């Protein structure tokens, strides 16, 4: 299966619809279909999971102890997401609560994250690209041979 990769400019219109970049839309439809689960784990980005990928995550969450604090937190966070379908124009409706909380509207960047997509405000993505760098410790971790 082809992996999602790269960052693409996009926008969320006044009605809350995200128009997926053509390349990512083609990959999504060819590999998974049009149904996705939109949620957020972090206050700075949305996550868009193809439904089949999301169902795998749900199975993993279901295997966890429901009283484990981490499991409870993740389940609570994703509970505000919604299952939506990409329309014929390549748009999907981002739930209003998520749009408001994550503050995504107007110009955004949709980036491929191997098996899902992330949506971030364009100015936040630009700041990250100009300010973030890997530490020596992180580079050493990446340099370790595969196990």
Q: Look over the chain and give the mean of its residue pLDDT values, rounded to a whole number.
A: 93
Eight-state DSSP code of residue 115: S
pLDDT at residue 147 above 70?
A: no
Say how far apart CA 25 and CA 81 lie, in whole Å: 20
The rounded percent of the chain whose pLDDT value lies above 70 is 99
Residues whose CB falls within 8 Å of the CB of residue 117, separated by 6 or more in sequence, listed in order: 4, 20, 24, 28, 47, 48, 49, 110, 111
Q: Where are the alpha helices (DSSP H) in 79-121?
A: 96-102
Under the banding of pLDDT at 50, 70 and 90, the label for residue 5 is: very high
The model's pLDDT over 94-106, given as tens digits with 9 standing for 90+, comes to 999 999 999 999 9
> pTM to 2 decimals?
0.89
The fourth-level CATH superfamily of domain 7-143 is Transcriptional regulator MraZ domain (3.40.1550.20)
Residues in the chain: 147
What's 110's DSSP letter? E
């Amino acid at each position: 299966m082809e992996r999602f990769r790269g960052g693409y400019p996009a926008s969320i219109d006044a009605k809350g619809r995200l128009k997926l970049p053509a390349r990512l839309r083609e990959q999504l439809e060819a590999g998974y279909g049009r149904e996705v689960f939109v949620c957020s784990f972090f206050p700075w980005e949305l996550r868009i999971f193809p439904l089949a990928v999301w169902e795998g995550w749900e199975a993993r969450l279901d295997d966890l102890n429901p009283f484990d604090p981490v499991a409870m937190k993740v389940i609570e966070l994703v509970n505000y997401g919604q299952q939506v379908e990409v329309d014929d124009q390549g748009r999907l409706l981002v739930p209003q609560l998520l749009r408001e909380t994550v503050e995504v509207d107007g110009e955004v960047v949709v980036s491929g994250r191997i098996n899902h997509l992330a949506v971030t405000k364009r100015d936040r993505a630009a700041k990250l690209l100009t300010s973030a760098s890997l530490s020596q410790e992180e580079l050493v971790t990446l340099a370790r041979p595969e196990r």
